[in-house]
Chain A
Amino acid sequence: NAGVTQTPKFQVLKTGQSMTLQCAQDMNHEYMSWYRQDPGMGLRLIHYSVGAGITDQGEVPNGYNVSRSTTEDFPLRLLSAAPSQTSVYFCASSYSGYQPQHFGDGTRLSIL
Chain B
Amino acid sequence: GIQVEQSPPDLILQEGANSTLRCNFSDSVNNLQWFHQNPWGQLINLFYIPSGTKQNGRLSATTVATERYSLLYISSSQTTDSGVYFCAIDFDGGTSYGKLTFGQGTILTVHP
Given contacts A43-B100, A103-B42, contact A97 B48 (CB under 8 A): no
Q: Which of A47-105 contact B (CB under 8 A)?
A: 48, 50, 56, 58-59, 88, 90, 92, 94, 96-103, 105
A45 touches B45 (CB 8 A): no
Mark contacts of B31-62 with chain A using CB atoms, 8 A cut-off: 1 yes-contact digit, 0 otherwise. 10101000001111101101000000000000
B41 touches A101 (CB 8 A): no
B102 surroundings in chain A (CB, below 8 A)? 35, 42-44
Q: Give the 5 A-B residue pairs with the shortest CB-CB distance, closest first.
A: A42-B102, A97-B96, A103-B43, A100-B48, A97-B98
Q: Which of B71-112 contact A (CB under 8 A)?
A: 86, 88, 90, 95-105
Q: Which residues of B contact A (CB under 8 A)?
A: 4, 30-31, 33, 35, 41-45, 47-48, 50, 86, 88, 90, 95-105
Q: How many A-B contacts at CB < 8 Å in the complex?
A: 70
13 contacts between A and B (CB under 8 A): A31-B97, A33-B98, A42-B88, A42-B103, A45-B99, A56-B97, A97-B30, A97-B96, A98-B31, A103-B42, A105-B42, A106-B42, A106-B43
A12 surroundings in chain B (CB, below 8 A)? none
B72 shortest CB reach to chain A, Å: 15
B15 shortest CB reach to chain A, Å: 26
Given contacts A98-B31, A103-B45, A106-B41, contact A43 B98 (CB under 8 A): no
Q: Which residues of A contact B (CB under 8 A)?
A: 31, 33, 35, 41-45, 48, 50, 56, 58-59, 88, 90, 92, 94, 96-103, 105-106
